[in-house]
């Protein structure tokens, strides 16, 4: 393999095309696919949501991901340097793109810690506790296991720190020896696990009705407003799921070999990400459907579906302890590869700006993550009365990153590549290895018109609807 097949600079890089695809898919496949996608699909009319999501994935998702990876590969820099090199006036976008993963990483690891705790409970055969325990909270009210658990300080802190340390090993080891190796092992394991679990849940009595509920479109009371809400929810989910507008794909792109196909790789990452989200829905929706005897209220549990409803479902099914352990192992692995990508993005920016070594930068980012993450841990325990804009600290970090900073970053990214330096910048990078850019017309119209409109919808949605 000639030296130009790797990135030209000394920052290291992925050693193979499959290594890059699996690492990027590892970033994309995360809590968003397993925890968020199924409850959104259940809430927004099953098949209609799936169909809209799919169309958006191959158009909007494809365009945004391709742009970010192309920017990274062309410049060979972290987000800070990449946006600046593309156009000096857009350098602040690089700072925004570094700030987003720095805000997300700490709270994402806090949630990763919760998942780790659930996994340990099911592995040690105590999944029933997670499912059944009701804790008295005074004046006759009671808390679920989950609510009780996150209100504690000691254990959530322990699992959070443990989770950060596990993820940081891959980042410390570097791109090829750490991130690529870990992704090459974990992603196939993850795929096999989810196929087995989905296969098992579909054999349960009544599961087929749950599957129908999940995949067949429900047109009852379907209005234009509902359609618009479904589209907004699908765009938001896509954004979240494909790790867009958080600097990750720019950073991973900067480690991608020039000889590998950009367009083909993006298509494969998309297929992987969407397949895992779809399969996660095939596990969760039918099993909750069977457990609740088709009660729509159970399926509309929203964010609590995975942490509150699902443990009860596992506890009630034959072999549920093993399936529960496998499921939470799956979620832990998916979340781990995503947090590795968030951490790598921040570490790469710190290394580039400060010229410190990878290990020193990594330790600085670990310390930052633990300190800032503790705010989120404490926000649910000792500081539970403290609110920012009416939200708990963790929810506030999630809101400003996902609903404000990311759409702003994506919007200006579209303006930069659609109108300022023009689409040729990305088109040339796609063709650099001699490939044809097959979806070039789709790309142009998307980046100039459709994607910026989607971003405006996302920015406005939280203020005008209850999505
Ligand atoms: N794409 C990953 C997921 O679906 O979980 C990673 C991620 C998305 C992390 C969004 C954080 C975030 F806010």
CATH number for 401: 1.10.4160
Tens-level pLDDT at each residue, the chain (467 residues): 334 444 445 688 999 999 999 999 999 999 999 988 998 888 887 889 999 999 999 999 999 999 999 999 999 999 999 999 999 999 999 999 999 999 999 999 999 999 999 999 999 999 988 887 666 665 556 788 999 999 999 999 999 999 999 999 999 999 999 999 999 999 999 999 999 999 998 998 889 999 998 898 878 777 887 888 888 889 889 988 999 999 999 999 999 999 999 999 999 999 999 999 999 999 998 988 888 888 878 877 777 788 988 898 898 888 889 999 999 999 999 999 999 999 999 999 999 999 999 999 999 999 999 999 999 999 999 999 999 999 999 999 998 998 889 999 999 999 999 999 999 999 999 999 999 999 999 999 999 999 999 898 888 876 655 44
How many Å lie between the centroid of ligand 1 and the Cα of residue 338? 7
User: What is the sign of the dihedral through the CA atoms of 256, 258, 263 and 264?
Assistant: negative
The closest-lying atom of ligand 1 relative to the alpha carbon of residue 36 is: 4
Structure tokens given for 28: 């994309």
CA of 148 to the centre of ligand 1 (A): 25
CB 155 within 8 A of CB 113: no
Q: Pocket of ligand 1, candidates 24, 39, 65, 104: which has the most ligand atoms within 8 Å of its Cβ, to mutate?
A: 104
* Helix (DSSP H) and strand (DSSP E) numbers for the chain: 25, 2
Atom in ligand 1 nearest the alpha carbon of residue 398: 13
- Transcribe 222-281 into DSSP letters: --HHHHHHHHHHHHHHHHHHTTTTSSHHHHHHHTS-TTS-HHHHHHHHHHHHHHHHHHHH
Q: Which domain holds residue 450?
A: 3-466
CA-to-CA dists, residue 101 to 96, 104, 362, angstroms:
9, 5, 14
Supply the residue whose CA is at minimum distance from atom 11 of ligand 1.
104
Which pLDDT belongs to residue 168? 97
Which of 25, 28, 31, 245, when mutated, tests ligand 1's pocket best, judged by the most ligand atoms within 8 Å of its CB?
Answer: 31
Distance 28 CA to ligand 1 centre (A): 7
Ligand 1 atom with minimal separation from the 101 CA: 11
Å from CA of 104 to ligand 1 middle: 8
Residue 197's φ and ψ, nearest 5 degrees, are -65, -40
Residue 403: predicted pLDDT = 84
Q: Report how far ligand 1's centroid is from the alpha carbon of 380 (Å).
A: 21
Distance 206 CA to ligand 1 centre (A): 32
Rounded to two decimals, the pTM is 0.93
Which of ligand 1's atoms lies nearest the C-alpha of 334? 5
- Give me ligand 1 centre to Cα 402, in Å: 9
**C-alpha of residue 2 to centroid of ligand 1, in Å:** 35
Query: Helix, strand or coil for residue 177?
Result: helix
Which residue lies with its CA nearest to atom 8 of ligand 1?
240
If one counts the domains in the chain, the total is 1
219 C-alpha to center of ligand 1: Å? 30
Q: Work out which ligand 1 atom sits closest to the CA atom of 335.
A: 5
The pLDDT of residue 225 is 79
Task: Using the mean position of ligand 1's atoms as its centre, give its distance from the Cα of residue 105 in Å.
Answer: 9
**pLDDT reported for residue 1:** 38
Pocket-testing residue among 25, 243, 335, ligand 1, by greatest number of atoms within 8 A of Cβ: 243
- Residue 10 gets which letter from DSSP? T
* Buried/exposed 105-128: b ≥16 CB within 10 Å, e otherwise: bbbbbbbbbbbbbbbbbbbeeebb
At 8 the pLDDT is 45
Ligand 1 nearest-atom number relative to CA 402: 13
Distance from the alpha carbon of residue 214 to the mean position of ligand 1, in angstroms: 23
What atom in ligand 1 is closest to the CA of residue 33? 4
- pLDDT for 136 equals 62
Positive or negative, the CA dihedral 400, 110, 369, 13 is negative
Residues contacting 442, CB < 8 A, separation 6+:
59, 62, 63
Tell which atom from ligand 1 comes closest to the C-alpha of 406. 13
CA distances from 156 to 166, 196, 329 (A): 15, 30, 17
Task: Count Cβ atoms below 10 Å from residue 14 Cβ, excluding itself.
Answer: 24
- Give the Å distance between the CA of 30 and the centre of ligand 1: 6
* Pocket of ligand 1, beta carbon within 6 A: 28, 30-33, 104, 108, 240-241, 243, 338, 401-402
Question: Which atom of ligand 1 approaches the CA of 108 most closely?
Answer: 11
CA of 24 to the centre of ligand 1 (A): 12
> What is the whole-number distance in angstroms between the Cα of residue 316 and the centre of ligand 1?
30
Cα dihedral 362, 366, 369, 373 in deg (nearest 10):
160
Pocket test for ligand 1, best of 97, 106, 109, 240 (most atoms within 8 A of CB): 240
Looking at ligand 1, which residue's alpha carbon is closest to its atom 7?
Answer: 243
pLDDT at position 135 is 66
Q: Whose CA is nearest to atom 10 of ligand 1?
A: 240
């Amino acid at each position: 393999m000639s030296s130009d097949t790797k990135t030209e600079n000394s920052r290291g890089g992925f050693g193979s095309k499959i290594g890059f695809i699996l690492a990027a898919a590892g970033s994309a496949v995360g809590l968003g696919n397993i925890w968020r996608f199924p409850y959104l699909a259940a809430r927004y009319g099953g098949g209609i949501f799936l169909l809209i999501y799919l169309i958006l994935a191959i158009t909007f998702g494809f365009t945004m991901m391709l742009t970010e990876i192309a920017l990274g590969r062309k410049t060979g820099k972290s987000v800070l340097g990449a946006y600046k090199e593309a156009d000096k006036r857009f350098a602040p976008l690089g700072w925004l793109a570094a700030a987003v993963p720095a805000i997300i990483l700490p709270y994402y690891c806090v949630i990763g810690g919760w998942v780790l705790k659930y996994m340990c409970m099911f592995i040690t055969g105590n999944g029933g506790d997670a499912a059944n325990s009701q804790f008295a909270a005074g004046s006759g009210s009671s808390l679920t296991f989950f609510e009780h658990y996150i209100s504690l300080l000691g254990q959530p802190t322990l699992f959070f720190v443990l989770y950060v340390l596990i993820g940081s090993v891959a980042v410390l080891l570097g791109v090829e020896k750490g991130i690529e190796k870990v992704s090459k092992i974990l992603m196939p394991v993850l795929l096999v696990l989810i196929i087995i679990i989905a296969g098992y849940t579909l054999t349960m009595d009544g599961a087929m009705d749950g599957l129908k509920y999940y995949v067949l479109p429900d047109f009852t009371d379907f209005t234009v407003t509902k359609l618009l809400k479904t589209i907004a929810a699908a765009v938001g989910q896509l954004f979240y799921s494909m790790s867009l507008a958080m600097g990750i794909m720019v950073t991973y792109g900067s480690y991608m070999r020039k000889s590998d196909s950009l367009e083909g790789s993006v298509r494969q990452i998309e297929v992987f990400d969407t397949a895992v989200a779809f399969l996660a829905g095939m596990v969760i929706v039918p099993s909750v459907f069977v457990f609740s005897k088709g009660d729509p209220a159970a399926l509309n549990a929203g964010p609590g579906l995975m942490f509150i409803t699902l443990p009860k479902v596992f506890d009630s099914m034959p072999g549920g302890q093993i399936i529960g352990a496998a499921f939470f192992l799956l979620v832990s692995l998916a979340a781990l590869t995503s947090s590795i990508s968030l951490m790598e993005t921040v570490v790469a920016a710190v290394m580039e700006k400060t010229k410190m070594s990878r290990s020193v930068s990594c330790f600085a980012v670990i310390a930052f993550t633990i300190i800032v993450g503790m705010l989120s841990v404490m926000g649910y325990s000792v500081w539970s009365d403290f609110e920012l804009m009416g939200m708990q600290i963790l929810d506030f970090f999630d809101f400003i990153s996902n609903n404000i900073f990311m759409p702003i970053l994506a919007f200006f990214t579209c303006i930069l590549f659609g109108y300022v330096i023009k689409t040729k910048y990305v088109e040339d990078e796609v063709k650099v290895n001699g490939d044809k850019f097959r979806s070039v017309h789709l790309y142009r119209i998307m980046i100039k018109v459709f994607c910026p409109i989607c971003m405006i919808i996302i920015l406005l949605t939280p203020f005008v609807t209850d999505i």
